[in-house]
Amino acid sequence: MDRVTPSIPIDRSSPVPLYFQVAQRLEELIESGELPPGARLANEIALADRLGLSRPTMRQAIQHLVDKGLLVRKRGVGTQVVHARLRRRVELSSLYDDLVRARRQPRTELLSFGRVAPPDDVAVALRLPPGTEVVALERLRYAGDEPLALMRNYLPVGVADLTADKLAERGLYRLLRESGVQLRVADQTISARKATAGEARLLHEARGAPLLTMLRTAYDHANRAVEHGNHLYRASRYSFELTLVAR
């Protein structure tokens, strides 16, 4: 693959540091697909000359994106695009639908599906008596050919028409909507922890790699708990976005 020397406008009158202007534009090109995974950038000297920047400034811009996991430096290869991290707004939406909107080609591998007696914390979240059977499913969600998230979900029996084929083809929230469930609100906690050996193997990460965690209980229009999810996301491929409003 030929090396790429992207054209990046520089505003020297802006208070934004020059390295950050370059890094932002490169990130936009990566996320839009104009710089696809595997694309190789020209070396730092050529890029600096093309943009009229010093080599240390160019090196700082590249390092910023290496630190974010968007670029990687390889001996004998140079600087290469790794992937575009999926950014997801924190709202009551489905990862499957978010991937479709981002044109990231979602695919699902169903790891388990059936009725179980849930852990006590799940029964409490779903407002069910201890020992009440629920529908439990575990899925590995891909973006293109890359595993992105390991998802464990629990639902009250009979809340939706679920089959293995449907779960492999569509997102859970879409199936809930198709079953007449009107999702209205959710309690959600986002955190982080290290991957276990089994989780690392499924997500193609190193053991102990950082994972983002999302614990969510969703309720319908009648304030009935209809779904409890415990999801793990690759921190190197995924981020949550929030909009904060001053009061």
Write out pLDDT tens, residues 215-245. 999 999 889 999 999 999 988 777 666 555 5
Whether 246 maps to a domain, the answer reads: no
Q: Whose structure tokens read 């859970």?
A: 172
Residues 58 and 48 sit within 8 Å (Cβ to Cβ): yes
Tens of pLDDT along 181-195? 998 998 888 899 999
Q: Is there a single domain that holds both residue 61 and residue 125? A: no
Same domain as 116, residue 31: no
CATH number at residue 196: 3.40.1410.10
CA distance 207 to 83: 21
Could you tell me the two tokens for 73? Answer: 């430096």
User: Does the pLDDT at position 247 exceed 70?
Assistant: no
* Co-location of 11 and 34 in the same domain: yes
Residue 200, both tokens: 């690392």
Mark which of 30, 59, 81 sits at the end of a domain.
Answer: 81
Residues 6+ apart with CB under 8 A from 171: 94, 95, 96, 97, 106
Residue 96 lies in a domain: yes
Is it the case that residue 93 has pLDDT exceeding 70? no
pLDDT at 130: 87
My answer on whether 110 and 215 are in the same domain is yes
Let me know whether 29 and 117 are in one domain.
no
Give the range among 98-112, 115-129, 218-232 with minimum mean pLDDT: 98-112
Dihedral in degrees, nearest 10, Cα atoms 97, 146, 211, 65: -100
Distances (CA, A) of 55 to 70, 156, 223: 20, 59, 58
Regarding whether 118 and 29 lie in a shared domain, the answer is no
Same domain, 188 and 91: yes
Half-sphere CA count of 160, side-chain side, radius 13 A = 29
My answer on whether 31 and 90 are in the same domain is no
210-220 and 225-234: which strand pairing? antiparallel
Q: Check whether residue 195 and residue 105 sit in a common domain.
A: yes
- Beta strands 183-194 and 146-156 are unpaired
Burial class (CB in 10 A: 0-12, 13-18, 19+), 22: buried
**Rounded mean pLDDT, 128-135:** 93
**The tokens 């809340």 sit on which residue?**
159
| Pairing outcome for strands 40-41 and 3-4 | parallel
- Report if residue 188 sits inside a domain: yes
Q: What is the CATH number of the domain that holds 20?
A: 1.10.10.10
The contacts found for 101-106 with CB under 8 angstroms, 24 or more apart, are 104/143, 104/144, 105/142, 105/143, 105/144, 106/141, 106/142, 106/143, 106/171
Domain that includes residue 162, residue range: 86-241
pLDDT at 32: 76
Q: 174 and 99 in one domain?
A: yes
pLDDT tens digit sequence for 48-83: 998 899 999 999 999 888 877 788 888 777 888 876
- For residue 14, being part of any structural domain is answered with yes
97 domain-assigned:
yes
